[in-house]
Amino acid sequence: MSNGEPSTATDDHRIKVLVTGWRKAGKSSCIKTVFQHLPVKDVPYIGITQKIEKVDYDTIVPLQIWDTPANFDLDQLDVPLASFSTLVYVIDMQQDDSYHEAVRQAITMILRGYLANPQMKFSVFIHKAEALSEDYRGENYSEIQRSMTEELEDYHYSSLQSYAPNLDLGDPSVCNNIFNHMIAEIKFDMTSVHDVSLRDGWSKVIQGVMEMLPAVEALLLNFTETSGMDNSYLFDIDSGVVLATDNRHRNDATMEQVTEYLTKFLQFRDIYKKLRTPNAPPDDRSDDGALGKTGRDWWDDEDPEAPWMTQATRLMPKSTIALWQFTPHLALVVLLHTDTWQARRGMIEYNLTFLRQGVRRILMEV
């Protein structure tokens, strides 16, 4: 499966993300609603995942997301566990009767992942937040975090000795070092398919595997400051996931506002003739539209004079939100004062050309 966009990346060059969790936790909905455009209203009809499904997705980095069945075991993988860059574990926060079992399974998988690849990232999606009231939601979220910390502290590390031949897991100091490392490395997110929280969770996952993230953030910060704007966000167009921000005055309310704006605006993308999509010459495509063996990237056939889609909306009398597409996969969304937009639009769009060139140069070098 793929997101329908051409890519030159093979399985070996894709960054692998393993998504697993307890039965009926919502693993497939976490993937399909964000990366495969599944409408939220269709989530109850997804059905049970019977086997491992690999979802190829091309964004600022080429991803391969592995969706796993309910009875999944790490020994069922047909590639080394060390080949995954990230493990995402999904827990249904409303299942009070089973989340303790899920916590035990999560810690075992996370520790095995760490022993196989100490550079692996770990995210826990405490999912289906919409099913509970706000008070119970916060209570269950904290309880699951606390349970995972306790399970990690009390874990019988020696039971994993066969997966760590170079470590003595019978040594308390070694186990304590692992515990302290994992406490800092496991990231928790409360998620729901019904709001932007799930995309925010995926944003952190993707940013965690972006080696070029500091360089992109530096470009955004410089662009924001020199253009007199409040905030800037680099989005993946198809998924609506934030790939980088300038990290100035960031808050959840602003992030939600910007993400909802992009999501709703892109519902009307077909009426914008200037919305560019990945392209390839006809002689380099197979019957299904995929790129051929020559492996051309989007910029190889780009017309530098062709316009890209832009749009701006006044949210309030003193606040404007603007969007520019500047690669087939990426769009920039900015928040700024309306007065600034009216007075400096020319300068902002001039600065944007340098930002786009900078991001493009980074993409060509990684």
pLDDT, the chain, mean: 85
Fold of 11-208: Rossmann fold (3.40.50)
CA dist., res. 58 & res. 104, Å (int): 33
Domain span(s) for CATH 3.30.450.190 in the chain? 214-365
Q: What is the mean pLDDT of residues 61-74?
A: 93
Confidence at residue 283, expressed as pLDDT on a 0 to 100 scale: 39
Rounded to whole angstroms, the Cα distance separating 151 from 38 reads: 35
What angle in degrees, to the nearest 10, is found between the helix axes of 99-116 and 134-154? 50
* Start and end residues for every CATH 3.40.50.300 domain found in the chain: 11-208
Asked if 307 and 356 count as a contact pair (C-beta separation under 8 A), the reply is: no
- Write down the pLDDT at residue 29: 94
The answer on pLDDT for 90 being more than 60 is yes
- What fold characterizes domain 214-365? Beta-Lactamase (3.30.450)
Q: How far apart are CA 145 and CA 126, in angstroms?
A: 9
* pLDDT at position 289: 32
Q: Which carries the bigger pLDDT value, residue 7 or residue 237? A: 237
301 or 136, which is more confident: 136
Question: Residue 284 pLDDT more than 80?
Answer: no
Higher-pLDDT residue of 279, 311: 311
What's the sign of the alpha-carbon dihedral 208, 65, 124, 249? positive
In the prediction, which pLDDT does 269 show? Answer: 66
